[in-house]
Amino acid sequence: MEHPYIPRDLKLPDYVPVSLPQSTILAVYGLASLLVVSLVWLFSGGSRRLNKLDRLLMCWWAFTGLTHIILEGYFAFSPEFYKDKTGFFLAEVWKEYSKGDSRYAGRDTAIVTVEGITSVLEGPASLLAVYAIAKGKAYSYILQFAISLGQLYGTLVYFVAAILDGDNFAMSPFYYYAYYIFANSFWIWIPLLICIRCWKKISLAVQSQSQSQKKSKVR
């Protein structure tokens, strides 16, 4: 069957159309995400050491970590998801998302590379960040900074590569702005805010240590 993606001459042999409605796909993903966030928020509430911002960050890292591992991991290691006939949910997600960016269905090399690295490295590291915040580990801020920097870099490559290739991969303006722009915007402003916060925390810690060393020498 002929695919609906842009460009129209994109070669997708044995393509099988999306079988689940858009509303079902979005609802399942939204509810699953809400469940993860709710559970992390609930269980983190038992620690008096954690403030609300720490708990929100734990929710973010759990959500983004599982998204990287499960959703993006499936894409990276399932090159023929567009041929799926079983209605498998993850395949349906990427068939639907490809309406906003057909480079996924077309297995663009830049996309596969970025998503592969993200799922293998940033996914587990994000879950480690949840643990680091919960336990107050010394490496928490540098870990969060490193992951967020990687997310910013990956998102930048994602958008720049599209621009260099003509930025014409969406079926319509709706899919362009809803899937391509809006859905990915969270991996720009949230990592950016986390980077700024961690930079301040790390700088303050280094400054404090430096002042302590100077006082010790004076004594």
pLDDT tens, residue by residue, 4-13: 999 999 999 9
Query: What pLDDT, on the 0 to 100 scale, is given for residue 102?
Result: 97
SS3 51: coil
Q: What is the rounded average pLDDT of the residues 129-151? A: 97
Token pair 């240590």 is found at 209
Does residue 206 or residue 163 have the better pLDDT? 163
Long-range contacts, 140-144 (Cβ 8 Å, 24+): 141/198, 141/201, 141/202, 141/205, 142/198, 142/202, 144/57, 144/61, 144/194, 144/198
Q: How confident is the model at residue 208 (pLDDT cuts 50, 70, 90)?
A: confident
pLDDT tens, residue by residue, 15-57: 999 999 999 999 999 999 999 999 999 999 887 889 999 999 9
Q: How confident is the model at residue 213 (pLDDT cuts 50, 70, 90)?
A: low
Which pair of tokens denotes residue 107?
């297995």
Q: Where are the domains of the chain?
A: 22-209
Backbone angles phi, psi at 81, to 5 degrees: -60, -30
- Is residue 124 pLDDT above 90, yes or no? yes
- Is residue 207 pLDDT above 90, yes or no? no
Q: Is 140 exposed, middle or buried (0-12, 13-18, 19+ CB in 10 A)?
A: buried
pTM for the structure as a whole = 0.93
User: How many C-beta neighbours within 10 Å does residue 117 have?
Assistant: 18
Q: How confident is the model at residue 215 (pLDDT cuts 50, 70, 90)?
A: low
